[in-house]
A and B are shown apart, each in its own frame.
Chain A
Amino acid sequence: MAKKILIVDDEVHIKMLLEQTLEELEDEFEVDLYTASDGEEGLEFIRSKRPDLVFLDIMMPKMNGYEVCRIIKDDASLKDVKIILLTAKGQEVDRKQGLELGAMMYMTKPFDPDEILRVSKELLEL
């Protein structure tokens, strides 16, 4: 079964950047890429499609990344969803909070596309 990656970000360019970065996986390992533009949409997608990996921005309209993270972790049925918080909030408290809420990783923008690719492969065990 094809692995699913969800990108949740309100910034169109970042979404595009991530998409283009991860396209390689799509081609090579038949990973499916999905995107969402805000927290609510992202949460809805996670609940319905259960992606394997989520790149989640924190500052987003409607629902922020922390909330999405918390809700997912509170939902036992979604415990396998791996979340990488990918955000411009680089402060230590933010990182701490994110990791406490159950994110697998906390990455800060600007990111290196190669690093994203490497981490994704690792987490998806590809």
Chain B
Amino acid sequence: MAAIKGMSLFKKTGLIAFCLFGVIASATSAMTAWTLYGLMTREYVSKGTAIAQSIAGASQEILLNRDAATVQSVIDQYLEIEGVAYVFVVDGDGLVVSHTFVPEFPPMLHDVRGLKHEIAVSSLDIPPHGAVIDICAPVLAGLAGFVHVGMGKELIMAYFWEVVLKMQILLFFIFWGCVGILYLVMRRISRPLGQLTDYARKLAAHDFSAAIDIRTRDELEVLGRAMMSMGQELALLFSEMENEVGKATADLRDHMAYLAAIIDNLADGLLVVDVTGAVSVINPAMREFFDLGDTPCKGRSPARLFPVEVTGLADRIRRCTTEVLSAEIPLARGRTGKAVGSTIFAETPGRQCLGGVLLVRDITREKELDQLKTDFISTVSHELRTPMTSVLGFSKIIRNKLERYVFPLLAGDRGVEKPIGQVRGNMDIIVAEAERLTELINDVLDIARMEAGEVQWRDENVPVAGVLRQSVEATRGLWQAKGLAVEIDVGDDLPPVRGDHDRLVQVVVNLLSNAVKFTEVGPIRCSAEREGGFVRVSVRDNGAGIDRADLRMVFDKFKQVGDTLTGKPEGSGLGLPICRQIVERHGGSIWVESEPGRGSVFTFTIPLAEDEARAGEGDAEPSCRAPEGGEVPDARTRTSPLVLVVDDDPALIEYLSQVFEERGYAVCEAANGPDAVATARSVLPDLITMDIMMPGMDGHEVIARLRALPETRAIPILVITALGGAEGEAGDMALVKPVDDATVIRAAESLLRGQACGGACIVLGGRECDLNGMRVLCSGEVTFATAEEFWPLVEDGFRGTVFISSEVVGGMELERLSALGGVSVVILPPFACKG
């Protein structure tokens, strides 16, 4: 039974066979019974007919004579015949002559009439005799009467049921016989199948020791053998794989131990934070730097373990920034550390951020050395000043005295003219060199003082035109000596800046003397113009230019770019670092653009005097409002994010402002580039939306300026541009107009928080795009498509966000795309997509 239970194949076939058999059996018995019934009925009819005719033929006289007694005796004997239920005779008038009914003649038979010339057959139901076939034969064409013979149907039915019963019994036995045979056959098939199934299950459970024993000499046996050999192959592969995995695991363990040993023995402190900002790795050096002892750190927030400088860095590097951040941080026990942090990216499609790594080096000693160096430089320079005073002073006196008293006495003596010329020249050389040396000493002291914060600044409102003119005058000797011209280009209405006049002159003089130094022909152009809340001063030359690789270094101390071995360096190499110190101290920035062989442009910005900035700009005064209509609190105290909306279209400013205000953001507005820079600097917004096409300073330039300023560098910028190719590249994310409020808010939130939530999206330009920062725009269903695959998707009714790599944006029909309802376009910055 158990075996049958297990044989579901048998059960299924059995059930089908049972049904089939039932139908066949029922149909066969019904057919047989029906045939038998018909046959027997016909036989009874013919039997009854024979009896009736026999009586009718034999008894004519008797009937005619109406000898009832004789008739009775004749008909009585027919009752003995099987199947005869009754016999009766009626005369020509229909009166019963005699009958075999005891005790009384059924009244219904009185009405049964026969036919005069032939035999009539009819079916009757005569209680209590039951169903009968009445056969009526005429005697002398009915003149002498009729003979009725009733053949009882009971016997037919009895035969009928007997046959059916016998047949069912036979079929029953045949059925069970078949079931038995079926079972045996099924068992023969299903046992090996069961074995195969068990074997497959064991293989699935990695039990390769099992075996199959099928000897059916058919396909099943072949299948069994094939499975066995497959199992053996698998076993072999598995063991090889296990070996490999074991080896790899051991290697990995060794490697991990090696790495752990390296990390633990690093002299530098190492801190790794995951994307949530929790500490995931910390090494002993780091613990020691911050006196953490055995404090459990893993999984905890850095804020609970480290000073705020470290926490701030850790927080910034765990966000997907490509920047390498560095800062000086205080360590325990009054030491100083230098921290360098960067984001860790997984080299998978999409460049997922895994967190950040922070390396801290104890630079207390270096700082001390640096201080020592500064002190040393200061002392030495100081000590050099006294002898320099004598050298320079006496040289000048000697030169004066020679010129005034000695040379006139010798004039006219032809023999001494040449020596006099030489003495004069030599004296000039001594004076010039002494001046150069003095300049170097002054520069060294200057920068040492600025770095130590020991310089006093005399801030006042300074007219820039005056600064430029004074500087050009101061360098007149230099540029005239080289036969160069200096052009000044300053507008009449240039407002004054706030700063230290002498120091600003120092900057321009420095830039001018550099320009003169590296220029052989052509004028040097010195220009100043207003740019938002700043004055921008440029010194442009057509000189040698600076190699791209050197551009970053020109503002470094003691760095003289170019080949200092072949090209004779001139100057201390401190001029530009001093300029940078001065400009940055004023709240401006300085940079250089250059092309080798075509000259350089040094540019710096200095903020306008406050009253000028306000008076001159009118609406450049930050136009801000809090969502509830009050004033916007400053960056440290505000609770709701502040968005700076930059666009030259007042309607769009109004729209975006309303969108942000409805979501509880505070909003500042700027209608042009300079205002945007000035407002961003003064209010330090949490997010900036930037139009690209603006008159005057375009969005690219604004972004470049904001990125160049330390305080605005990290503010996320959402570019909202009308159309175009690589317009979005400069910002952190770009939306193509027209934009809808939900997309803007989602993009803003993703930039503000960098966290995930929801909309379907398509990424164009390959799988290698990083959507991490923009996940907020997707509901998780990300489709990667090529440009060819894209339009069919849209035509199929795609609605959501389309991310386009800035590399492929040129090939897209952006206009058509932007016109679609329900589709938002985000242009990914170039770094977000590989290749």
Contacts and interface: CB of A to CB of B under 8 A. Distances in A.
A11 B390 CA distance: 10
A88 B385 contact: yes
A118 to B, nearest CB: 13
A88 B382 contact: yes
Given A90-B445, A93-B454, A96-B456, A17 B390 contact: yes
Contact of B393 (A17, A89, A93, A108): A17
B385 A110 contact: yes
A88 B455 contact: no
Interface string B708-728: 000000000000000000000
B503 to A, nearest CB: 12
Contact of B396 (A11, A91, A109, A112): A112
A20 B401 CA distance: 10
A92 B456 contact: yes
- Secondary structure dominating the interface of B: helix
Interface in B311-329: none
B456 A109 contact: no
A113 interface: yes
B389 A91 contact: no
A110 B396 contact: no
Interface in B606-624: none
Interface of B: 382-383, 385-394, 396-397, 400, 434, 438, 442, 445, 449, 454-456
Given A92-B456, A110-B385, A110-B438, A13 B390 contact: yes
B388 A92 contact: no
B454 A92 contact: yes
Contact of A14 (B383, B389, B434, B454): B389
B449 A110 contact: no
Contact of A110 (B383, B389, B445): B389
A111 to B, nearest CB: 6
23 contacts: A11-B386, A13-B394, A14-B393, A17-B393, A20-B397, A21-B393, A88-B385, A88-B386, A89-B382, A91-B449, A91-B454, A92-B454, A95-B456, A109-B385, A109-B386, A110-B385, A110-B388, A110-B391, A110-B392, A111-B393, A112-B396, A113-B396, A114-B396
B456 A111 contact: no
Given A88-B382, A114-B396, A109 B388 contact: yes
A108 B385 contact: yes
B455 A92 contact: yes
Interface in A76-96: 88-93, 95-96
Interface of A: 11, 13-14, 17, 20-21, 88-93, 95-96, 108-114
Given A13-B390, A17-B390, A110-B438, A90 B396 contact: no
What 3 A-B pairs are tightest by C-beta distance, nearest first?
A110-B389, A88-B385, A109-B389
Contacts of A11: 386, 390
Contacts of A14: 386, 389-390, 393
A11 B400 CA distance: 23
A88 B389 contact: yes
A110 B382 CA distance: 10
A93 B387 CA distance: 23
B449 A17 contact: no
B379 to A, nearest CB: 11
B382 to A, nearest CB: 5
A90 B454 contact: no
A88 B386 CA distance: 6
Given A88-B382, A109-B385, A110-B389, A17 B397 contact: yes
A80 B611 CA distance: 42
A116 to B, nearest CB: 8
A61 B390 CA distance: 20
A92 B382 CA distance: 14
Nearest to B395: A113
B259 to A, nearest CB: 51
A14 B397 CA distance: 12
Among A17, A21, A92, find the residue whose CB has the most chain B CB atoms closer than 10 A: A17
A21 to B, nearest CB: 6
Nearest to A95: B456
A26 B827 CA distance: 81
Contacts of B391: 110
Contacts of A20: 394, 397
A29 to B, nearest CB: 17
Contacts of A112: 392-393, 396
Given A109-B388, A109-B389, 19 more contacts: A11-B386, A13-B387, A13-B394, A14-B390, A14-B393, A17-B389, A17-B394, A17-B397, A20-B397, A21-B393, A21-B397, A88-B385, A89-B382, A90-B445, A110-B389, A110-B392, A112-B392, A112-B393, A113-B400
A92 to B, nearest CB: 4
B385 A92 contact: no
